[in-house]
Structure 1
Amino acid sequence: MKKLKVIAVILVIIFVFTGCMPANSTGVKQEDINLIQFQDFKEGQETAVITTSLGTIKMVLFAKEAPKTVAHFKKLVNSGFYNNKTVFIESNAKSFVTGAKDETGVSGELMTDDKKAIQCEVTPNLYHFSGAVSVLAQEKNPFSKKMVSDSRFFIVGDVSASSNVVEQMEKYKYPPKVVDAYKEHGGLFPQFVGLYTVFGQVYEGLEVVNEISKLKCDAKTKLPTEKFVIEKIELSTYQKS
């Protein structure tokens, strides 16, 4: 049983980091897109501060675009669920996953009133650009294409744009506004378009995300081989420096 759990977590994490290009257009009109991840954030906007032994990561929360996801994340934070959580790392992916119930990584916590997983909240305004904070989604069941999430999430590090990805995006007629943003900011985009809920954006500490993603990890479990945890996550508000 333990071996099966390890295999399961490997499959889950590989799925997160390898994704595939959608074989059709996004179907989103250029004029309907308002890319908000790199706009000036407002004073008092909700944020979360992640404290680690390698430094602090600050991210703004997009409650308007992903209300259920953000509300659930805040409830988990307030309960102390994320304190002293380990991370899972896929080598060379420049990203990490956290928020699992235990070190198998195969399940997360649900603090919804009905204990049901949260339906993914995707929007044409948020993408997996560098610095994006996203849920770790999974299919509701093998016979459904609906994606749901729990307490697990991942943060995209500083990933340079790929000319091959740009060519594919243009081939599949992604809106020029989105293609241009990918060229400028890079990321794990577009393999998760329409599947995974982006609910936050790192505005300070992206270099810490990069350092965490470089930690040596066990090839099977994806756990760091040196002691490292998310010490705590606290809610705050955005203040211009």
Structure 2
Amino acid sequence: MGFIQFEKPAQGEEIAIMTTNHGTLKIRLFEEQAPKTVENFKTHVKNGYYNGLIFHRIIKDFMLQGGDPTGTGMGGESIWGKAFPDEFSEEVLNFRGALSMANSGPNTNGSQFFIVQKDSVEEQMLGQLKGASFPDEAVEAYKEHGGTPWLDFRHSVFGQVFEGMDIVDAIANVKTGVQDKPVEDVVIKKLEIVAYEG
């Protein structure tokens, strides 16, 4: 069994299209594995909440973080107006390309998310995963795809970029300043939910 994360969406499945000032990403959403998280994200998207926001924190060989209306990393809230619980599944992990919730500790999800950009996992880390009785299949997938396994079961994975990882890599290479904030704004011009047409 391979991870569903690396499968293309089915015809007609609802996906997210993120248009940035660097290019466009297509994201598959994992409604079954993270129903509340996906509901929160989709509702925000449909309400235009994310349009015009910046990626306020970018760390090359790690991740891009956005979804905060204040652009500081301190703001944003869920569609319910309060933090909501984490949703973890062994079926979706923080592989390269994962769309995950940013948080400030357990069960503190609001509107902020990040996209995992790291394209490799060090041998030592892979060894630790095996030692921690991580499933062999997950270790193999991390070896093949890269990612951030230390974030698993700490940050809810609810989507996967399946088109546009070259754009994610380009964004990861922008010049950043204080607190990993890009010197020139990286903007989410538009986020929309559409039916996948293949």
Q: TM-score, normalised by structure 1?
A: 0.77
Flag the 1:231–1:158 CA change in 2: closer, same or farther, 3 A. same
Matched with 2:78 is: 110
Counterpart selection for 1:170 from 123, 130, 142: 130
Matched with 2:181 is: 223
Matched with 1:200 is: 159
Matched with 2:3 is: 35
1:182 partnered with 2:142: yes
Asked whether the 8 Å contact 1:160–1:186 carries over to 2, the reply is yes
Asked whether the 8 Å contact 1:34–1:125 carries over to 2, the reply is no
Asked whether the 8 Å contact 1:120–1:137 carries over to 2, the reply is no
Partner Cα separation in structure 1 for residue 188 and residue 175 of structure 2: 16
Per the TM alignment, residue 34 of structure 1 is displaced from its structure 2 partner at its CA by 6.6
Query: For each residue in 1:23-61, what CA deviation from the matched residue of structure 2 results, as whole angstroms up to 9, or x when unmatched?
Result: xxxxxxxxxx87210124311111000001111000011
Partner Cα separation in structure 2 for residue 198 and residue 239 of structure 1: 24
SS of residue paired to 1:111: coil
1:156 partnered with 2:122: no
Matched with 1:120 is: 86
Asked whether the 8 Å contact 2:61–2:118 carries over to 1, the reply is no
Partner Cα separation in structure 2 for residue 54 and residue 86 of structure 1: 12
Q: TM-score, normalised by structure 2?
A: 0.93
Matched with 1:136 is: 102
Give the structure with higher Rg (CA). Answer: 1
**Unmatched runs of 5 consecutive residues or more in structure 1:** 1-32, 140-145
Matched with 2:170 is: 211
SS of residue paired to 1:82: coil
Aligned length: 198
1:95 partnered with 2:63: yes
SS of residue paired to 1:191: helix
Partner Cα separation in structure 1 for residue 70 and residue 187 of structure 2: 12
Asked whether the 8 Å contact 1:86–1:223 carries over to 2, the reply is no
Partner Cα separation in structure 2 for residue 126 and residue 202 of structure 1: 13
**4+ long deviations beyond 3 Å:** none
**Unmatched runs of 5 consecutive residues or more in structure 2:** none
Partner Cα separation in structure 2 for residue 228 and residue 201 of structure 1: 20
Matched with 1:235 is: 193
Asked whether the 8 Å contact 2:25–2:164 carries over to 1, the reply is yes
